[in-house]
Amino acid sequence: METALHEREWLLRRQTHEMERMTNEMPIEVPAKEKKSATKKSTAGAKAPAKRPANAAKTKSSETPLTKPANGRSRVVVEGIKPQIDGGRFAAKRVVGDSVRVEADVFGDGHDMVRAHLLYRRADETEWRTEEMTALGNDHWTASFVVDQMGFHEYTVVGEVDHFQTWRSELKKREDAGQDLDLPLKTGALLIEAAAKRATKEEAAQLKAFAEKVRGGSTAAAFDGTLLAIVNRNPETEMQTRYERTLRVWVDRERARFSSWYELFPRSWGKPGQHGTLRDVAAQLDYVEEMGFDVLYLPPIHPIGRSFRKGKNNTTEAKPGDVGSPWAIGAKEGGHLAILAELGTFADLEYLIEQLRERKMELAMDIAFQCAPDHPWVTEHPEWFKKRADGSIQYAENPPKKYQDIYPLDFESSDWQGLWDALKEVFMFWAEKNVRIFRVDNPHTKAFPFWEWVIAEVQAVYPDTIFLAEAFTRPRVMERLAKLGYTQSYTYFTWRNTKAELTEYMTQLTKTEVSEYMRPNFWPNTPDILPFGLQTSGPNAFKSRLVLAATLSSNYGMYGPAFELGENIRFKEGSEEYLNSEKYEIKRWNREAPNSLRPLITLLNEARRANRALQRNENLVFHPTDNPQVMAYSKSTADGSDVVLTVVSLDPVNTQAGYVTLDLASLGLKDGATFGVFDLLANRGYRWQGSRNYVELRPYEVPAHVFEIRK
């Protein structure tokens, strides 16, 4: 009776469906004024298209019919993969040896269980490696893979309905309910035999043996862990859902993440009354090495233009003997592929690089894509420069400032391809001479597509090349340059002074998506920037800014000897420029001055090298204090073996004190624990207990503690 009722309902639904179909295929009457055009458009012998009833609703599907998917049996959704930069448009960044944690949302329809797999490989590999993903709850999954060499690595996620685990789960429920298991066990045997067809010969034999036991009624065999492991190694791939695109991660060498930079002008390192040379710098490397720096950064070393050369303090008329700005590149002797004769020769550069290598240091070269009026490109390729209304070449301006000694390049040039090739040759030329770190001047004033292309071109040949973007510009522009391939970036640290400003900025750099692609490099000063905070607060301000730069960021640098000697004389009121700037003249520094910060710099760099916790950024944790002038934060290694707590006074004048409330769990400590803190700057230890502890910081000593946590 029940069966007959179901059949009648089915027939009734079928008849209704047929009537609807016939109605939809009935021709619609065409108005007289449209009949002629409609006839013209029809093709002889062609079947007339199905017509909608006049009162039928207009739907999206009726206008753009959907096609069937390639595999309609794939019932799982894969979405929300992280890391993923702009939908996979750009690569995330890592360093050799890093573990890349991938997360994704993977789920299916109904109540069947699902599985998720992380697929990963180097870009030059053809076969994918697979890692089973772990469910975190709420359909969220994770797995990790280790990047083992420089260059691009690829990853994606696949998911499938897990018929075997679904069957085992339901079998357990049936068993607990005391139901008959004969048919369910036979169903399971079929699933096991299907897996055997996908397995190796050895595992297929094991699976067939399990299938016989399960078909024979053995629930113990059904729940055997070995059986589950073998089935999981042989998934039903033909019904998997794969994420819509392959994602990438670019892998750099270690120095991309951890480096200490020291900038100097070689011309100021010669004997009294003489222009310094590259050999002079090589002879005095001990000064830089002993402070613990591993990157020596030199401003441009190319010939300096003579036309419109700037005089001291950026005056528009140079006097006899004025050396000009190194950033006014190019003279009759050559341009970006030449060395200023007063600095030496290519052999001298090679010698300097060798001396640095022996000290496990590297040379960073400044690349400034701009030209002095005397640069050979000005006459050889005038089309690479913008013209003014009178036909003359447009010099650089940042109104009201004028830079008559510099011609900017025109990235809208009709010969942009020739320009790109010439600029690429600059990088390749110096890379071939064993320069693998480039600090790029003002990259935000050059075309974005160029940077994406040229960085990829250089790193395709020299994957160990590091690019530092000197782009003190708008946030989105800085971030775009990092996405396009820049290894490190200058930042706003130079102007972040209060506890709230520093906390907010560091949280953005280390805890948001920005951390996936932008590596900060903190500079408390540069030849262009003497921050207001360093101008009036005396040497103690230099101390606190030094500690902040060196411990907040794993990459940091300074312009010396101006920094360690506390150079703070501004050009004029309201200016962030130096008086008697080294950019325009040779300076003589008393590097042995008793007030030099060399001892403190040395201690900080020793702490950075000895403590792996300080060599990363994403591990930063802030700890509350009850004094807005006292800032506390920690960094820890993943295994908790190295933990460093830094406490800094932001007041360069007055003694500041207060209580720090520690997040003990982030330090690997239990509530109420007693532990040691050893100050690496004062070489002194203390015993602390619990989360709340007292600190006192005197600016005329060292306005900071850098504590090793000793458990």
> Rg for the chain (alpha carbons), in Å?
34
Find residue 677's DSSP bridge partners: 686, 709
Torsion angle of C-alpha atoms 572, 577, 581, 584, degrees rounded to 10: -110
- Told to judge if 441 belongs to the known catalytic residues of this protein, a careful annotator would answer yes
Per annotation, catalytic residue among 98, 470, 582, 651: 470
| Residue 217 to residue 182: CA distance in whole angstroms | 7
Residues 470, 440 contacting (CB under 8 angstroms): yes
Structure tokens at 285: 């490397």
| Residue 417 to residue 428: CA distance in whole angstroms | 16
Residue 411 CB contacts under 8 Å (≥ 6 apart), including other chains? 419, 446, 447, 450
Per annotation, catalytic residue among 252, 441, 582, 585: 441
Distance of CA 286 to the CA centre of its chain: 33
| Residue 487 to residue 127: CA distance in whole angstroms | 28
Residues 648, 544 contacting (CB under 8 angstroms): yes
Residues 311, 376 contacting (CB under 8 angstroms): no
Residue 160 CB contacts under 8 Å (≥ 6 apart), including other chains? 74, 76, 114, 115, 235, 236, 237, 239, 240, 241
What burial letters (b/e) apply to 129-162, b meaning 16+ CB within 10 Å? Answer: ebbebeeeeebbbbbebebeebbbbbbbbbbbbb
- Told to judge if 20 belongs to the known catalytic residues of this protein, a careful annotator would answer no
Residue 441 CB contacts under 8 Å (≥ 6 apart), including other chains? 327, 366, 367, 368, 369, 370, 470
| Residue 26 to residue 598: CA distance in whole angstroms | 92
Residues 50, 24 contacting (CB under 8 angstroms): yes
Q: Is the dihedral of CA 399, 576, 278, 268 positive or negative?
A: positive
Number of other residues whose CB lies within 10 A of the CB of residue 522: 25
Residues 664, 630 contacting (CB under 8 angstroms): no
Pick from 249, 149, 246, 124: which is nearest to 463 by CA? 149
Query: Which residues are the active-site residues?
Result: 441, 470
